[in-house]
Structure 1
Amino acid sequence: MTVTTRLAAAALLLLSLAGCEGMSRGQQRALSGGAIGAAGGAALGALTGGSALTGALLGGAGGAAIGAITR
């Protein structure tokens, strides 16, 4: 990975985090739950021989729902 690629990835990460500043606590939980669920679903889908995309969609939806309803 080149230095330029690493700097671009770091800048993208920082910009994406800045977008969460004005969110309520519940919105932040739903977003982080969806992201964690999507990553886990994609990994499980790929590891079990299924579709990583389907796993990501289902995991993301479930994670967002759980994140939104928890306190």
Structure 2
Amino acid sequence: MRTKFTFTALFAATLAVSGCVMSDLERAGVGAVAGGVTAAAVGGTVATGVVAGAAIGALCDEVTRICR
């Protein structure tokens, strides 16, 4: 249950801030920061949060229309 909450919080935080930048690289950077902060806040592994956040940020505009 905690892992599902962590992933959901990470995804929501990344989507919220990744729409403010233009390129995939910028979105990956914002996603990495959001992922690391979210993972630290919920007691998860920061490195995993950074990697997941970067991946979600970079792929956000291909998967959803929220980041465009």
For the aligned pair, the TM-score class normalised by the smaller chain equals 0.5 to 0.7
Summarize the alignment of residues 10-21 of structure 1 with structure 2, pairs less than 5 Å apart: none
Alignment of 1:46-57 (within 5 A): 46-57=40-51
Deviation at 1:66, TM superposition (A): 1.4
How big is the shift at 1:41? 0.2
Amino acid aligned to 1:40: A
- Matched residue, 2:38: 44
Q: Which runs of 5+ in 1 are unaligned?
A: 1-27
* CA–CA separation in structure 1 for the residues paired with 2:39 and 2:52: 10
1:62 counterpart (56, 63, 66): 56
Query: Structure 2: any 5+ residue segments left out of the alignment?
Result: 1-21
For the residues of structure 1 that align with 2:24 and 2:59, how far apart are their CA atoms? 7
Q: TM-score of the superposition, structure 2-length normalised?
A: 0.57
Distance in 1 between residues matched to 2:27 and 2:60, nearest whole Å: 7
User: Aligned with 2:23: secondary structure?
Assistant: helix
TM-score by length of 1: 0.54
For the pair shown, the structure with the greater C-alpha radius of gyration is: 1
Aligned to 1:35, which of 23, 26, 29?
29
What amino acid does structure 1 have at the position aligned with 2:30?
I
Give me the identity figure in percent.
Answer: 33
1:9-48 deviation per Cα after TM superposition (whole angstroms, max 9, x unaligned): xxxxxxxxxxxxxxxxxxx610000000000000000110
